[in-house]
C-alpha cells in the first residue's frame, strides 16, 4: 500500500518540506512548513485508510489533522507573536553547505540504506522518508533556536509515523489517541519551557545560546 501514488507524493512532500525547513530563516515560516508537512501526513493516512478500508488509519488522520495541523501550529504561532520571536537564531553552517549535507544524507538513504531493506519492502517512499528523518535530525543539529528544535522533533515524529504507515503497520485508535495525547502534552511542556526561557533570558529563540553553561569544569 505504500506504493499508492498519493502516499508516495505525500512522502515526497514531507521530504521536500524537511529540506525547506532547513533553509528558511523565519520562525513563522517554519511553523507553516510544519503545518503543511502534517497536512501531507494526514492526507497520506487518509488515502491509505481508503485503500485499506481501515478505520484506524482514518482516526489517525483525523487526530493528526486536529493536533498537528490545527492545534500545534496555531499554538506556536500565538507564542511567536506573544514573545515576538519571528526570526530564528542562526544556524551553524550556511545554506549551501547545509544543502550539500542534506544531499549527502539523501544519497545515503537511497544508495546505502534502501538497498538493504528493499528485499523486505519495496516502495519509493521508504528512502524518501528515511532521508526526511535524517533531514530533521540535521535540522536540529544545525539550528540553534529553541523553536527549531521543537519543530524539528515534531517533524521527526511526522516522518517516523509516515514511515511506519507506509511500511504497513496497522494503527489502532487507542494507540493513535495515546500518541496524539503524547504529542499534545509534549507541545504543552515545550511551550512551558519556552515560557520559562522568556522569563529567564528575555527571548525564547536565542535562549539556547545562553544555555551552554552545564559543562565539566
State whether the Cα torsion 170-173-179-184 is positive or negative. Answer: positive
Q: With CB under 8 A, what is the number of residues at the site for another protein?
A: 56
Is 100 one of the binding residues for another protein (CB under 8 A)? no
Q: Considering only 5-13, 29-37, 78-86, 208-216, which stretch makes contact with another protein by CB under 8 A?
A: 208-216
CB of 203 to another protein, least distance (A): 13
Residues 163 and 146: their CA atoms lie apart, in Å, by: 26
Query: Do 93 and 142 contact (CB within 8 A), yes or no?
Result: yes
Burial string for 99-111 (b: 16+ CB within 10 Å, else e) reads: eebbeebbeebbe
Which residue in 20, 137, 191, 203 binds another protein (CB under 8 A)? 137
Query: Rule CB under 8 A: which of 39-78 touch another protein?
Result: 56
Q: Considering only 3-11, 15-23, 69-77, 205-213, which stretch makes contact with another protein by CB under 8 A?
A: 205-213
Is 97 one of the binding residues for another protein (CB under 8 A)? no
Residues 6 and 162: their CA atoms lie apart, in Å, by: 13
Which residue in 125, 171, 204, 205 binds another protein (CB under 8 A)? 171
Q: What is the largest CA-CA distance in the chain?
A: 59
Residues 115 and 129: their CA atoms lie apart, in Å, by: 14
Residues 50 and 81: their CA atoms lie apart, in Å, by: 38
**Residues that bind another protein in the complex, under the rule CB under 8 A:** 56, 92, 108, 112-113, 116-117, 119-121, 133-134, 137-138, 140-144, 146, 149, 153, 156-157, 160, 163-164, 167-172, 175, 178-179, 182, 185-186, 189-190, 192-193, 196-197, 200-201, 208, 210-217
Amino acid at each position: 500500500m505504500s506504493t499508492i501514488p498519493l502516499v508516495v507524493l505525500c512522502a515526497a512532500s514531507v521530504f521536500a518540506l524537511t529540506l525547506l525547513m532547513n533553509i528558511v530563516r523565519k520562525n513563522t515560516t517554519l511553523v507553516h512548513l510544519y503545518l503543511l508537512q502534517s497536512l501531507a501526513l494526514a492526507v497520506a493516512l487518509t488515502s491509505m485508510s481508503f485503500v485499506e478500508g481501515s478505520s484506524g488509519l482514518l482516526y489517525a488522520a483525523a487526530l493528526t489533522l486536529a493536533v498537528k495541523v490545527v492545534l500545534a501550529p496555531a499554538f506556536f504561532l500565538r507564542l511567536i507573536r506573544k514573545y515576538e520571536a519571528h526570526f530564528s537564531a542562526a544556524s551553524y553552517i550556511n545554506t549551501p553547505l547545509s544543502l550539500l549535507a542534506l544531499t549527502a544524507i539523501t544519497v545515503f538513504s537511497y544508495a546505502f540504506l534502501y538497498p538493504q531493506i528493499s528485499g523486505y519492502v519495496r516502495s519509493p517512499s521508504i528512502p524518501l522518508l528515511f532521508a526526511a528523518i535524517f533531514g530533521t535530525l540535521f535540522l536540529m543539529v544545525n539550528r540553534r533556536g529553541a523553536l527549531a528544535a521543537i519543530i524539528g522533533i515534531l517533524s521527526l515524529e511526522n516522518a517516523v509515523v509516515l514511515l511506519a504507515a507506509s511500511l504497513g503497520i496497522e494503527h489502532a485508535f487507542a494507540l493513535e489517541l495515546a500518541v496524539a495525547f503524547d504529542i499534545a502534552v509534549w507541545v504543552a511542556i515545550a511551550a512551558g519551557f519556552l515560557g520559562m526561557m522568556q522569563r529567564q533570558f528575555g527571548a525564547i529563540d536565542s535562549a539556547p545560546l545562553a544555555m551552554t553553561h552545564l559543562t565539566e569544569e
